[in-house]
Structure 1
Amino acid sequence: MEKIMDIDLLKQLAKDITLLYVEDDEDLRNSVIRYLSKIFPNLSVAENGQEGLDLYRKNQYDIVVSDIEMPFMNGIEMAKEIKVINPSQEIIIISGYGEISYFINSISIGISGYIMKPIDYLKMNQKLYESSLNVNTRKENIE
């Protein structure tokens, strides 16, 4: 049985974490931005993979959450480029496609989590919690 995510604990973990959210669908993007901004005070947004990669190169975020199917550069291509820059990068992929090749590609490049659309926010919270915990642990180890 999956444990219920404590949203207050997630907010506490997320307070110093930078998050990049990449999504081309405007309605979904606006909905998820409203949700994520209540948890992550340091949130940036891109509308496609190329824009996301450009922002990442400038700012190097702690967590990247991205759709797969987008114009200019898809989420898997962007994730591969980001993993070259930072092999330990926390990346959570959101997909509307149950296509196994996307899932296998995600695993092969070391994606931290995979969430299917429509988004189950409890599952999203769990993945964000796990990634936030990993980021904070790495930051503590560096200090």
Structure 2
Amino acid sequence: MRVNDYHFRDTWLLSAPVRTVFDAVTDVAGYPLWWPDVREVTRLDDDTAQLVCRAALPYVLVIRMRRAEQDPDRGRLRVHLTGDLEGSLAAVVLGRPGGTRLEITQRVLATKPLLRTLSPLARPVFRANHALMMRRGRRGLQHHLSAAGAR
């Protein structure tokens, strides 16, 4: 494995129905409403969006997400990533007692020159930054879903 290859697995436990969670995570344009690290989303076509992300570290990632699979009946979502990160993200939305389990798997190659240059030394810091971004995403989504349910 190259030093700028990353594999992330995250599980979000959410107290909302499966379909509600699926609809929220497939509405990429809505991410900035609940995910503080997704600063901007631009729809490029029916299957592609460009995201501008920034977590705790002082750099921005520009990532294009192209839908490869979106199956609400099976709770499956998969996108191809290009730009500052190249690779894929897959998600499975599963029912659980009291809500939903969202399992997210990302396999990416950091292509942004800054990340490629610093990966040999800063890899643990980049991984921590990613973990922080995902924690804030989970909390933001839970709050967003709770507020939507209260309306």
TM-score, normalised to structure 1, is 0.27
The structure having more radius of gyration, on CA atoms, is 2
TM-score, normalised to structure 2, is 0.26
Relative contact order, CA 8 A, sep 6+: which one is greater?
2
Higher strand share: 2
